[in-house]
Amino acid sequence: MKNALRLLALVLFLPGTAAAGEFEIFGHLGITFPFYSQTFTYDPGPVTLNIPGVTIQQQGVFELKGSGGTSFGFGAAFYFVKSVALEARVDYASIDVKASGASYRVTVNLPAPLPPVNSDLDLGAGTVDLDRLSPISLNLRFQTPGKFGFGISGGVSYLPAFGLTATQTIGLGVTQLDVGNQRLDVGTLPFQARIEPVSLPGLESPSRWGFNGGVILRIPLNAKVSIVGDARYFRFNESTATWTRADSRALSDIEGLLLQQVQQRLPNITFRPEWFQATGGLAITF
């Protein structure tokens, strides 16, 4: 038994190298750190309420911001010369996008001596559903041999089509003003923006080409098995989604006019898949 334990310890701590002609398979698990953030500021445009001397200033603001999730994946590498390999990998990255800061501010300037009327409307937080991103990459890897191996790899990545749906209640603008009671009504409407997960006839495909690059740390457990840490950056071309109305209720004449103006002035979602991930796992060479 003691001899078997000594033999096992010796095998576990033999240094590993990456020789020409070797194959390696690996799997990893970790977390993502996205770079996405977009703030939306819009003005619904002028409002005419047939009240002489009254001017209305109004502005809506809200923000979408990415937060970290999980990442996992697997791949294989072929060392065509010592310590230089072609690497193919598939990563699955989860990115959470949260809506925050949804507010609408209206300032009504009334004729003197009446004071201005101000109103801040909390529109509540919207929701964003984003599919897990699954880039497929083909890289060139350079790896140092020895007890502790450091490496770099990078190359081209393809991001298959994914879906994104954002829903947010948006202030349309002032629909009614009671000067005597200094009260105003602001119309609101739910809006939705979508990036479709499949290509549709006449529409741009949401699939994207990009690149990735990372650094690798290998700690061999034996001649064939290593613990691998990987820090990697992904970047792809952006996708664009247009906000559209998300319900079908009947609108008043002034709400219909405001809706047209809001749709013209509400910026599109421009989502760029871009993130950093830190993962760890195992690699086996044979």
For domain 2-285, give the CATH number.
Answer: 2.40.128
**Residue position matching structure tokens 């003003």:** 177
Q: What is the DSSP letter of 5?
A: H
- Please, which residues have CB within 8 angstroms of residue 2's CB and are 6 or more apart in sequence? none
Residues of the chain with pLDDT under 50: 1, 4-5, 7-17
How many residues are present in the chain?
286
pLDDT digits (tens, 9 = 90+) for 177-221: 776 666 778 888 999 998 877 655 555 556 789 999 999 999 999
Residue 50 falls in which region: left (phi positive, over 0), alpha (psi -120 to 50) or beta: left
| Residue-range domain boundaries for the chain | 2-285
Per-residue pLDDT, 49: 63
Q: What is the DSSP string of 225-263?
A: EEEEEEEEEEEE--EEE-EEE-------HHHHHHHHHHH
Q: What is the pLDDT of residue 231?
A: 98
Q: Find where tokens 């549709």 sit.
A: 200
Residue 124 backbone class (left: φ over 0; alpha: ψ -120 to 50; beta: rest) = left
d(CA 107, CA 174): 10
The mean predicted confidence, pLDDT, of the chain is 85
